[in-house]
Structure 1
Amino acid sequence: MSTQTWLGHPRGLATLFFTEMFERFTYYGMRAILVLFLIAPPTGLNPGFGVDRESAGAIYGLYTGAVYLFCLPGGWIADRLLGARRAVFYGGMLIALGNFLLAVPAGADLFYLGLAVITAGVGLLKPNISAVVGALYEDQPAARRDAGFSIFYMGINIGAFLSPFIVGTAGEGWSWRLGFALSGLFMLLGVIQFRYTERYLGEAGRISVADPAQRARDLRLLALGAGLIALPLLLLFSGVLAVPVTRLAQLAGSAMVALAVAYFGYVLIFAPLSRVERGRVAVIAVFFICAALFWAGYEQAATTLNLFTEDYTDRSLFGSYFPAGMHPTSWYQSAQPIYIILFSPFFAWLWVALAKRNLNPSAPAKFALGLLQLGLGFAVMVAAAELVINSGGRVGPSWILFTYLLQTTGELCLSPVGLSNVTRLSPPRYVGQMMGTWFLGSAVGNVAAGLIGGEVGGGSVEQMPAQFLHMTLVGVGAGVLMLLAVPLLRRLSAEQAPARA
């Protein structure tokens, strides 16, 4: 490994920082305009697909859900066949290619093929680039490793913050296809940067030479899995399977939930676990439910809340610079990343300060706080929707920005403790599988967010207060239940260190 340093850390961290920054730039830029492009009229100066809002939400949910689901085979492919480093490179190339396919002014089939290619690319890159970061810090103190990951995560949020402004301005202001092309271009820059500076990674992320017979078996298994995925896609694209996209998303979400129930049921009932291990797996199952509920609300930023911004938020500031007389809707997708950048240091300080006083909330309590803030964010939208109805016009941007603030502080309570506690609580021989359930929870939440967003966005404004109130009650109700369950969950976790609820 190179002896050069970057910000006091291994020089290879810069390689991974910028690769992930460009990848998240690409993902969040395309995500910001995807639903808006799908619902845009198919005629005019900047044509979209003219898809109805329910279908657009379902497409979004299927895509983002599949992205998280494909992280599971992506990790397996890296472990068995490519190594994490090559998986990052090939994943980046697929992401760039997929975005360039979206940019081609062709029909829906090529566009959806582009989404599928991006899904495969993110599945390869996303889980494995973090593994390479970890490999840079082998045999180094945990504090130094944590500091390195903090810098790495800053790259994620810088990319997510900048992309809605750049991709959104190009897509909404001039051409949707230009926005997708820019997303592909920035990912390509990230791949070039990765290849050019890869030498600084040393041996991190390389795979050891596998047994040829085992490698052949793994390749056959990969080919079988790819065929099982490609066959239904081919039948759908060819029209042999005429399944409405909303129904397809519902079936996909139901299948994911059934998979989670079957897996946790098997482990809890049949796996050779001790009583303590079984209790901890039960806690992970509760965390899975909470995570799925949280992401189902949080990921509506790109569906329900994006459409509310499009239809009912006053965007006249700087409007004279744009053909529609309003600044782009997608700009508001930068709110959550900038809130994370601003408030992450505060929350990091807060938990440490509380821990010194023996007041640091336990992991279940932090999950509860995250859900409560998610629900309160939707309570703000109840008032905003009522104001739209009563005034007959648009509301100020502060409503949507305050909602994003509450939901982002909720994420800062829930998300960081989620994966760390899954790894801490998992029985040693089930760690990888339990980490997979965390990705599965995100996938379920994203599919649900798409379906909910399509239903709310496709309805009338008169229905919105009740719909937002329902989301408020789910979030707050789940948070209250988690608070009540904290003592039980802490006992099941068999926590040794004292922590306050």
Structure 2
Amino acid sequence: MSQGRESNGFAGHPRGLATLFLTEMWERFTFYGMRSLLVLFMTAAVIDGGLGLDDKAATSIYGLYIGCVYLFSWPGGWIADRLLGAQRAVIAGALLMAAGNFMLALQSVTFFYLGLIVIVLGVGLLKPNVSVMVGQLYSGQSSARRDAGFLLFYIGINLGAVLAPLVIGTIGEKLSWRAGFAVAGLCMLGGLLQFVAQRRHLPPALPTATTPAERRRGLQILFGAGAALTALIALMFAGIIPAAPVTLARYTGLAMVLMAAGFFGYVFLFGRLSGDEAKRVAVILILFCSVAIFILGYELAGSTFNLFARDYTDRSFLGSWFADGEHPASWYQALGPFYIVVFAPLFGAMWVRLARRNLEPSLPAKFGIGLIQVGLGFVVMAWASWLVVQGGAGTRVAPTWLLLTYMLHTFGELCVSPIGLSAITALSPKRYTGQMMGTWFAGVALGNLLSGIVAGYFGEDTLATAPTRFLMICAMDVVAGCVLLLLARSITRMIGDAR
């Protein structure tokens, strides 16, 4: 068998899956650890070691950061495709992620923002290329088998995400914000060492720019883009370009939409696609829009839900363990990934069994079901926020509201995220695999950015309108899900026999 595809791994899956499983587990531990602290740190008072920002500014910065993390997966895929290869891109990304977290741990506002930028670049290099290598392990195998492999991979992602808020969140909230960021950086270095030691089990994934001229053109593009980005950052830090978080988030969102339109337009017009390839790229465009809508609601977990846990949720459970009598608000960030670890194997087995009976829902049907599930979660949040409004100042509700919301959102994610990752690897023209995986993360980026903007309207001063706003998000997700269900057959015909 070819390198990286030995079938002596877990449950008959390729041995390389374990390597990528552990790499992504530690990457997500690092990412979700600092993510669980980010909004809480930015809104904490300066005297308590935070930045002292208001909710709207903090959530806009959060949305910008998370959005750019996924947006930079797009050029990260291109860099791997053209210049570095997937394995070298993962190594470079891990080093940048570790360095960025160490910068957050420094007592400097400037280094805090620079650290966020460095982490953005690191995740952009690492995340899409790990996913691409998972897909390459299953080349020539059935879609059900590949979906099962991606679900196992997804468990690795969420094991890291479960542990991170419990460990890093506790250190950050109860000991020191800076110590939490530093621990996240150290864990990323551990994940990198594991990847380097086990990379022999992976496909080579060499870059496509093999001639000196191709490499030279690629490097020119890379250095030109890097110089432009550096100049833009320098102008913002110098105050020459206004950098108000809310305004910057809105313009960045517009730029993301224009970039996506430009990329898809270029591929359709000049990508020399066959008829079948054009239909499948059109499906990828539909997935791009669908995942953006899904993530807009789903990623309120790290901002609005995190603040709701801090300000309006009874956290007395295990409170005797802590001096202030409350467990950390960041612990609730572990709920979503915990549910995924519990339910992902059940969903994977369900898809395989349904496929054997020719009853498995189609790709667009799964997306539609996922959007409806996340919409139902906002009905729960609307009810919980209504109870807070009716109770008046100081009212706190039981944790069960967040427990149920995260469960519904998790069921939605299990119908969208791992299925979408698997679908992109199957639908992409081979010469655009890394870049098409980048478009998936660009859709996630747009959803995250919009989520951060929307989260700014759920601050303490607008609590009275929170139930209505939650129901508006519910309506958007449910309508989008129903549209996908209605168009499922047409979209499935566009997919054809892609596996």
CA distance in 2, matches of 1:208, 1:266: 19
* Amino acid in the other structure paired with 1:167: I
Aligned partner (choices 25, 40, 46) of residue 21 of structure 1: 25
Distance 1:282 1:129, change over 3 A: closer
Offset at residue 141 of structure 1 (A): 8.0
Query: Partner residue of 1:309?
Result: 309
Offset at residue 294 of structure 1 (A): 0.2
* Amino acid in the other structure paired with 1:193: Q
Work out the percentage of aligned pairs sharing the same amino acid.
Answer: 52
Whether the aligned pair in 1 keeps the contact of 2:152 and 2:345 (CA below 8 Å) is: no
Aligned partner (choices 60, 65, 79) of residue 77 of structure 1: 79
Aligned partner (choices 458, 480, 485) of residue 478 of structure 1: 480
Aligned partner (choices 21, 27, 37) of residue 41 of structure 2: 37
Q: Which sits farther off after the overlay, 202-211 or 50-59?
A: 202-211
Q: Equivalent residues in 2 for 1:446-465 (5 A)?
A: 446-457=448-459, 459-465=461-467
Whether the aligned pair in 2 keeps the contact of 1:131 and 1:205 (CA below 8 Å) is: no
Give the aligned CA root-mean-square deviation in angstroms. 2.9
Whether the aligned pair in 2 keeps the contact of 1:300 and 1:449 (CA below 8 Å) is: yes
Which stretches in structure 2 are left out of the alignment for 5+ residues? none
Whether the aligned pair in 2 keeps the contact of 1:39 and 1:51 (CA below 8 Å) is: yes
Query: Partner residue of 2:163?
Result: 162
CA distance in 2, matches of 1:428, 1:139: 13
Query: Partner residue of 1:215?
Result: 215
Query: Partner residue of 1:112?
Result: 113
TM-score, normalising length: structure 1: 0.90
Is residue 2:367 matched to residue 1:367? Answer: yes
Query: Partner residue of 1:414?
Result: 416
Query: Partner residue of 1:92?
Result: 94
Distance 1:204 1:479, change over 3 A: same
Distance 1:233 1:199, change over 3 A: closer
Distance 1:113 1:4, change over 3 A: same
Distance 1:459 1:423, change over 3 A: farther
1:113-169 Cα offsets, whole Å, 9 max, x none, are 001111111111112223444555667887776665444332211111100000010
Distance 1:267 1:149, change over 3 A: closer
Distance 1:255 1:100, change over 3 A: same
1:392-446 Cα offsets, whole Å, 9 max, x none, are 3111001011001001101111223323334444566655544332221111001
Distance 1:352 1:37, change over 3 A: same
Q: Equivalent residues in 2 for 1:68-467 (5 A)?
A: 68-106=70-108, 108-134=109-135, 149-195=150-196, 197-198=197-198, 200-201=200-201, 204-205=204-205, 210-265=210-265, 278-392=278-392, 393-426=395-428, 432-457=434-459, 459-467=461-469
Whether the aligned pair in 2 keeps the contact of 1:28 and 1:160 (CA below 8 Å) is: yes
Offset at residue 24 of structure 1 (A): 0.7
Whether the aligned pair in 2 keeps the contact of 1:160 and 1:337 (CA below 8 Å) is: yes
Secondary structure, in 3 states, of the residue corresponding to 1:460?
helix
Which stretches in structure 1 are left out of the alignment for 5+ residues? none
Q: Which sits farther off after the overlay, 351-360 or 314-323?
A: 351-360
Distance 1:190 1:473, change over 3 A: same
CA distance in 1, matches of 2:101, 2:310: 24
Whether the aligned pair in 2 keeps the contact of 1:15 and 1:200 (CA below 8 Å) is: no
1:296-321 Cα offsets, whole Å, 9 max, x none, are 11111101111111111100111122
Offset at residue 278 of structure 1 (A): 4.9
Whether the aligned pair in 2 keeps the contact of 1:54 and 1:458 (CA below 8 Å) is: no
CA distance in 2, matches of 1:478, 1:199: 41
CA distance in 2, matches of 1:65, 1:82: 24
Distance 1:181 1:265, change over 3 A: same
Distance 1:120 1:331, change over 3 A: same
1:35-93 Cα offsets, whole Å, 9 max, x none, are 000000001xx320001111111111111111111112212222333222222222111
CA distance in 2, matches of 1:74, 1:62: 18
CA distance in 1, matches of 2:131, 2:419: 17
TM-score, normalising length: structure 2: 0.90
Distance 1:430 1:6, change over 3 A: closer
* Amino acid in the other structure paired with 1:41: A
CA distance in 1, matches of 2:218, 2:275: 35
CA distance in 2, matches of 1:310, 1:250: 27
Secondary structure, in 3 states, of the residue corresponding to 2:46?
coil
Whether the aligned pair in 1 keeps the contact of 2:161 and 2:337 (CA below 8 Å) is: yes
Distance 1:23 1:492, change over 3 A: closer
* Amino acid in the other structure paired with 2:26: F
Whether the aligned pair in 1 keeps the contact of 2:129 and 2:434 (CA below 8 Å) is: no
CA distance in 2, matches of 1:335, 1:458: 24
CA distance in 2, matches of 1:121, 1:425: 26
Q: Which sits farther off after the overlay, 419-428 or 354-363?
A: 419-428
Whether the aligned pair in 2 keeps the contact of 1:283 and 1:492 (CA below 8 Å) is: yes
Secondary structure, in 3 states, of the residue corresponding to 1:437?
helix
Distance 1:207 1:454, change over 3 A: same
Offset at residue 365 of structure 1 (A): 1.5
Query: Partner residue of 2:58?
Result: 56
Distance 1:495 1:129, change over 3 A: closer
1:6-35 Cα offsets, whole Å, 9 max, x none, are 546665544433222111100001111100
Whether the aligned pair in 2 keeps the contact of 1:11 and 1:200 (CA below 8 Å) is: no
CA distance in 1, matches of 2:362, 2:142: 24
CA distance in 1, matches of 2:62, 2:354: 39
Offset at residue 475 of structure 1 (A): 1.2
Distance 1:277 1:90, change over 3 A: closer
CA distance in 1, matches of 2:471, 2:333: 22
Q: Which sits farther off after the overlay, 337-346 or 134-143?
A: 134-143
Distance 1:145 1:468, change over 3 A: closer
Q: Which sits farther off after the overlay, 408-417 or 127-136?
A: 127-136
Whether the aligned pair in 1 keeps the contact of 2:296 and 2:451 (CA below 8 Å) is: yes
